[in-house]
């Protein structure tokens, strides 16, 4: 953590000459090569200013905190925040270990790895063929809920945890390979070892697909074996999305998780319950709310 005297992307600098792309690539490639990433900076982005006037003024993100996979696993909600620069040309950066975030209900998400498993197609077909009355949107929502419910039962009874599958397959393979030390020419043991190897390769492939999807990384090719990279991106994505503090009412700060939840719920309840919001609700029977022909043609382009 400190002054690295360079930036990672052009958006981290305002004013002055543009940093050559070659320098950005060298820094990013070095970070990727040694497996480190940026700690999220929660209350600003630019950490240095040359204190010049007018067109000569330059801002840059020269200071940053770096982490690796082990740090993210141990402190998944850690972050960086800035404090006043005072007489320095650098804002001071302070690291926070972060609070333990309570788990909350998560929206239903279809995982790509399920497509490779037997039984998932039958679950979707069964849910979609069920008759549910009401308007199409309500029917669609209820069928999704039914898929989610049936999928949970299938996952518990048939599929199980992917990480547990990897552990079990690796343990099984290692036990057979240790037995091969004493029975190297036993055809039965050789056949078991080959099957166990295939099982582990399949489990590892499923695990990589799962973690790649959760990491939300899209640009790598499907055959790239970068499970550690995917896992690091997944954990970093969760850390970036965590709300660890909330500013409100002209600078007041909340860091307690229960207080943050209460403040957000109160805000949106007040927002959507206000008279102004009710007046703006869509009314399909109100001709003033209908799109004009010109607007309809514009949306259809």
Tokens 């005072």, residue located: 86
Return the pLDDT at 154. Answer: 74
Q: Residue 136 and residue 124: Cα distance in Å, rounded? A: 17
Q: Which segments in the chain show pLDDT lower than 50?
A: 217-224, 275, 277-290
**CB neighbour burial string for 41-59, b if at least 16 within 10 angstroms, e if fewer:** beeeebbbbeeeeeeeebb
Return the pLDDT at 142. Answer: 85
Return the pLDDT at 160. Answer: 64
Return the pLDDT at 285. Answer: 42
Which of 6, 96, 101 has its CA nearest to residue 42? Answer: 96
Q: Residue 218 and residue 111: Cα distance in Å, rounded? A: 15
Q: Which two tokens stand for residue 45?
A: 């982005």
CB within 8 A of 1, min separation 6: which ones? 39, 63, 64, 65, 66, 80, 93, 95
Q: Where are the domains of the chain?
A: 2-96, 112-241, 246-299
- pLDDT tens-digit readout, 200-217: 988 888 787 777 666 654
- pLDDT tens-digit readout, 147-170: 888 777 776 766 667 778 888 899
- What are all long-range contacts of 4-12, with beta carbons under 8 Å and residues at least 24 apart? 4/62, 4/63, 4/64, 5/62, 6/62, 7/60, 7/61, 7/62, 8/38, 8/61, 12/45, 12/46, 12/60, 12/61
**Contact present, 62 and 48 (Cβ < 8 Å):** yes
Return the pLDDT at 196. Answer: 92
pTM: predicted TM-score of the whole model, two decimal places: 0.44
Return the pLDDT at 21. Answer: 93
Q: Residue 238 and residue 242: Cα distance in Å, rounded? A: 6
Return the pLDDT at 221. Answer: 47
């Amino acid at each position: 953590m400190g002054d690295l005297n360079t930036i990672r992307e052009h958006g981290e600098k305002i004013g002055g000459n543009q940093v050559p792309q070659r320098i950005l690539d060298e820094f990013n490639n070095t970070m990727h090569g040694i497996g480190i990433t940026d700690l999220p900076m929660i209350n600003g982005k630019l950490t240095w200013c040359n204190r010049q006037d007018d067109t000569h003024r330059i801002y840059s993100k020269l200071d940053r905190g770096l982490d690796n996979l082990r740090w993210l696993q141990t402190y998944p909600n850690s972050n960086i925040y800035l404090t006043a620069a005072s007489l320095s040309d650098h804002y001071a950066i302070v690291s926070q270990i972060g609070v333990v975030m309570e788990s909350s209900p998560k929206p239903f998400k279809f995982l790509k790895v399920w497509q490779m498993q037997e039984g998932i197609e039958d679950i979707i077909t069964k849910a979609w063929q069920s008759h549910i009355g009401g308007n199409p949107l309500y029917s669609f929502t209820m069928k999704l809920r039914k898929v989610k419910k049936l999928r949970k039962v299938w996952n518990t009874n048939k599929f199980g945890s992917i990480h547990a599958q990897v552990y079990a397959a690796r343990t099984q393979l290692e036990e057979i390979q240790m037995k091969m030390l004493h029975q190297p020419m036993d055809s039965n043991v050789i056949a078991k070892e080959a099957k166990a190897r295939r099982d582990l390769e399949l489990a590892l492939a499923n695990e990589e697909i799962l973690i790649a999807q959760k990491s939300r990384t899209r640009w790598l090719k499907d055959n790239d074996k970068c499970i550690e990279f995917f896992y690091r991106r997944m954990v970093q994505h969760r850390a970036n999305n965590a709300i660890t503090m909330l500013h409100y009412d002209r600078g007041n700060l909340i860091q307690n998780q229960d207080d943050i939840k209460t403040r957000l719920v109160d805000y949106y309840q007040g927002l959507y319950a206000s008279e102004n919001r009710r007046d703006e609700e869509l009314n399909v029977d109100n001709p003033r709310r209908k799109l004009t022909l010109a607007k309809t043609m514009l949306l259809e382009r």
